[in-house]
Homo-oligomer: A and B are copies of this chain.
Amino acid sequence: MLKSAKIRVVAIAALVMAPGMASGQTNGIASPLQHVSPTGAVTIPQAEVPSVSTLDAVQPHWVFVNRGNGQDGTRIFDGDTGKMKGMVNMYGQDSFAFDPLGKNFYVAQTLWTKQDRGTRQDVLLAYDVTSLKLVSEIPIPGRMLIGNRTHNLVITADGKKALIYNMQPSSSVNVVDLEKRTFDSKIELPGCATMFTNRLNGFSALCSNGTLATVAMNGGKPVITRSAPFFNATEDPIFDTSVIDPKTGKLTLVSYSGLITPVELGAAPKIGASWSLQQAAFMRKGTYTAMDVNWMPGGRQPIAVHHATGRIYVLMHMGEYWSEYEPALEIWVLNGNTHKLIQRHALGGELKGKLINIAVSQDANPQVYASDGSGNTFVLDAQTMEKKQKMEDSGGGILYTVQP
């Protein structure tokens, strides 16, 4: 009966007025109470009490947009509706990762106790995927401060270890035991960075001498092996936002000049032959030669791969050498298995010359997500690249889709 009973109330306004009353002044001036309820009575048909929402199970068509453009937090949007579903708390150069077990969102975070002064605090945070409540906070002895990287916090395939890249300034990896919820160990990783977990619960990383280092984590002291050199880390670097399929351990690496190198991760990674995006598109191979214009891959996150079909989506622009962060004029779609161009899509309107990040959903009916770094994230039809949704004020950073 209470919910629908007509009861007489005054609102909180009356309470806050109390000090004024107590001063004994009756000044005849209208009070807020008068407007809240001039009759002193309020009907409460159904008083709404505050509540807190929970998140649905993460969907393939959800895109996670990292902070940036003056906004904190990683916002989660439903690509089908364009609506925000929630936010994972993140700041500054914090890193984000999915949990292969699907229970947590992981954040590697660095804060100072007084923002621009005080004590530095490096932690690995685990947020529950449903309640978005902080369920675990594990101190770590440091981490690398850099934004917009997808491979500085990675989780091993079994979901039991978190690997957090560090440089102070010598290069290492801090390992967190996610079962015991403690810092586990530090692995020295001289000259290498950009970690890709393999299915053996170890990981590989790209190195400054053009090799791939592979770290075996079998309980004992980690063993590091290195591949033969296969790329040029200073003349034609591989974008460190290149893509891994965590289920198969297949890497799709893309270089500044437009070389794609497929790698099958494992105890001894199989590094495939490189092929040229431009040649696949019936054009002259990209070079890293001064004063030579060509179509080039570019952006902060220039490549996305739909793993089930092997389709590769690349942000492409016309540019010279060292134009690796230029926004895209076209999106190229290629078959990663046959190395053939499927389609070039010229970007028009507000998409033209703006997009710097791209991702794709991993379901059978994929959507492409792309953002301009100025707060706008777009949902594009994966066949036509037609704009389906625009999410404003979405953040400015890296895009993530869940690997189902």
Query: With A89-B116, A114-B111 known to touch, is A27 a contact of B208 (CB < 8 Å)?
Result: no
Query: With A20-B207, A116-B89 known to touch, is A29 a contact of B70 (CB < 8 Å)?
Result: no
Instruction: Map CB proximity to B onto A15-37 as digits: 1 under 8 Å, 0 otherwise.
Output: 01111101101011111101100
Contact present for B115 and A235 (CB under 8 Å): no
Contact present for B70 and A23 (CB under 8 Å): no
By a CB distance below 8 angstroms, the chain B residues around A117 are 134
Measured in the bound complex, the distance between the Cα atoms of B134 and A118 in whole Å is: 12
Contact present for A30 and B235 (CB under 8 Å): yes
Contact of A232 among B30, B116, B235 (CB under 8 A): B30
By a CB distance below 8 angstroms, the chain B residues around A114 are 111, 113, 121
Query: With A19-B191, A23-B226, A211-B25 known to touch, is A35 a contact of B234 (CB < 8 Å)?
Result: yes
Whether a CB of chain B sits under 8 angstroms from the CB of A287 is no
Whether a CB of chain B sits under 8 angstroms from the CB of A98 is no
Whether a CB of chain B sits under 8 angstroms from the CB of A373 is no
Instruction: Map CB proximity to B onto A74-110 as digits: 1 under 8 Å, 0 otherwise.
Output: 0000000000000001010000000000000000000
10 of the cross-chain contacts (CB-CB < 8 Å) are: A20-B190, A20-B208, A25-B211, A27-B210, A27-B211, A29-B229, A32-B234, A35-B234, A70-B70, A111-B114
Which partner residue on chain B sits nearest A233 by CB separation?
B29
